[in-house]
């Protein structure tokens, strides 16, 4: 489905923005870098090999489906290919299946395309949206990919990180991939039917059910650092997925996740959102917003107005999370594939209601930033921060009010003094740095 073409409306939007935003100008910005020294895996292939052996110690070789998702995990193709090679070395007969719920527009071809885009050989990928119910937890059916059932076992490869919609001992990671990713669109819809609170119980319970049935052999957990790089790789036996070992990895992931080093922002400018950035488009843990019906927002609110300027190409038109922003641009809206967005949002149930809503659309990046400044509700100099996306927050653009705070902080380095925000003649913001 093509994007939303606002071309016929652009002239009217430009006139409206010119009239309503007269006299509102963006502040000058300085560039500030966070001082980071995160852990990183030096030998990815060697570590994958050792951790796959750890996870499958004592397991008899067999046919196995390797579940890989749609997330923009650093080096995921390299890691997945190394896991496949390690399984072969152990005598297993591996192939790769999409384990991404409703992503990839909820079609087998779309999901296979996502995996191929990671750098996984097409000949290794077996994709279907067909599932079978293998049991239930709390009355909710647990669906599993038919191809996985034909193989008889799955080994999942996924990043462990804080979830963007619920809190629990186990959030986004191996258990979630087993419970939701391998369940395809049907399984994802059922798992989300109890809302965020239900997910915190259903995800580990469903993973345990698959392990008890012998369908889940184990997994490879990935933890990333603030630089969107692999910080830790850990092989987990089936019994450790959704349990204390995965919970400990979540704690480490939370410690290492990207952050914005300022509170109480008037405006946050985000160059791009996307499914490869976060399942929520932009990570709600980073921006301090939930935008889920029935779930309390963090208090106090960290940001008054969020501006989303563009959508990543790797999102394939799925602009899930656009509703977390308050202002966006015509160029982002033109990239939205409503079929992909609505499939993801409606599968997510109550989690998707607000996050799929399209916010105020401005004709240009400049107009969107000016609109956010005008709507912030106070006259003091704007506290504005500018980031590339919620995976990459090490380098920030900051307004004078934030620069004053940055001076003298040991965790921040000022790398460029104040200068105008670099909008081109068409009103498009040039990339940060």
Of 119, 129, 368, 386, nearest to 265 by C-alpha is 386
Of 157, 137, 130, nearest to 217 by C-alpha is 157
Q: Where in the chain is the domain with CATH 3.40.50.11440?
A: 44-256
Of 270, 385, 391, 266, nearest to 332 by C-alpha is 270
pLDDT digits (tens, 9 = 90+) for 42-74: 999 999 999 999 999 999 999 999 999 987 799
- Sheet with 63-68, side-by-side order of all strands: 93-98, 63-68, 154-159, 216-224, 230-237
Residues 239 and 207: beta-carbon distance below 8 Å: no
The pLDDT value given to residue 2: 64
The pLDDT value given to residue 1: 58
The pLDDT value given to residue 301: 75
| β-bridge mates for residue 31, sequence order | 397, 416
The pLDDT value given to residue 3: 72
Beta-strand relationship, 384-387 and 360-362 = unpaired
Three-class secondary structure of residue 13 per DSSP: helix
Residues 83 and 157: beta-carbon distance below 8 Å: yes
* 44-256: CATH number: 3.40.50.11440
Q: Which residues of the chain have pLDDT under 50?
A: none
| β-bridge mates for residue 34, sequence order | 412
């Amino acid at each position: 489905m093509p994007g939303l073409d606002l071309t016929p409306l652009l002239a009217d939007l430009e006139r409206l923005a010119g009239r309503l935003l007269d006299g509102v100008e963006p502040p000058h910005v300085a560039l500030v870098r966070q001082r980071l020294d995160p852990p990183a895996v030096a030998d990815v292939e060697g570590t994958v090999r050792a951790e796959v052996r750890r996870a499958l110690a004592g397991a008899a070789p067999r046919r196995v489906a390797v579940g890989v998702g749609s997330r923009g995990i650093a080096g995921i193709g390299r890691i997945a290919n190394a896991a496949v090679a390690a399984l072969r070395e152990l005598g297993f007969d591996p192939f790769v299946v999409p384990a991404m719920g409703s992503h990839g527009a909820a079609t087998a071809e779309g999901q296979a395309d996502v995996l191929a885009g990671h750098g996984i050989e097409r000949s290794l990928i077996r994709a279907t949206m067909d599932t079978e119910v293998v049991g239930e937890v709390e009355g909710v059916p647990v669906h599993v990919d038919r191809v996985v059932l034909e193989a008889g076992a799955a080994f999942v490869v996924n990043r462990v990180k804080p979830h963007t919609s619920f809190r629990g001992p186990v959030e986004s990671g191996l258990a979630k991939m087993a419970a939701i990713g391998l369940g395809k669109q049907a399984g994802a819809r059922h798992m989300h039917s109890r809302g965020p609170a239900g997910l915190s119980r259903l995800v580990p319970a469903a993973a345990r059910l698959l392990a008890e049935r012998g369908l889940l052999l184990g997994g490879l957990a990935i933890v990333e650092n603030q630089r969107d790089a692999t910080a830790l790789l850990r092989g987990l036996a089936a019994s450790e997925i959704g349990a204390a070992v995965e919970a400990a990895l979540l704690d480490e992931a939370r410690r290492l996740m990207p952050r914005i080093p300022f509170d109480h922002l008037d405006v946050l400018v985000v160059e791009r959102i996307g499914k490869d950035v976060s399942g929520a488009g932009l990570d709600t843990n980073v921006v301090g917003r939930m935008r889920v019906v029935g779930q309390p927002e963090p208090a106090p609110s960290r940001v008054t107005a969020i501006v989303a300027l563009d959508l990543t190409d790797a999102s394939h038109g799925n602009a899930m999370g656009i509703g977390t922003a308050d202002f966006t641009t015509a160029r982002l809206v033109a990239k939205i594939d409503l079929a992909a967005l609505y499939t993801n949002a409606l599968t997510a149930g109550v989690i998707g209601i607000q996050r799929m809503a399209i916010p105020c659309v401005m004709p240009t990046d400049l107009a969107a930033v000016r609109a956010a400044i005008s709507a912030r509700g106070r006259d003091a100099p704007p506290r504005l921060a500018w980031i590339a996306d919620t995976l990459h927050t090490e380098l920030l653009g900051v307004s004078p009010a934030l620069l004053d705070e940055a001076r003298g902080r040991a965790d921040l380095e000022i790398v460029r003094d104040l200068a105008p925000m670099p909008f081109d003649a068409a009103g498009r913001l040039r990339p940060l740095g």
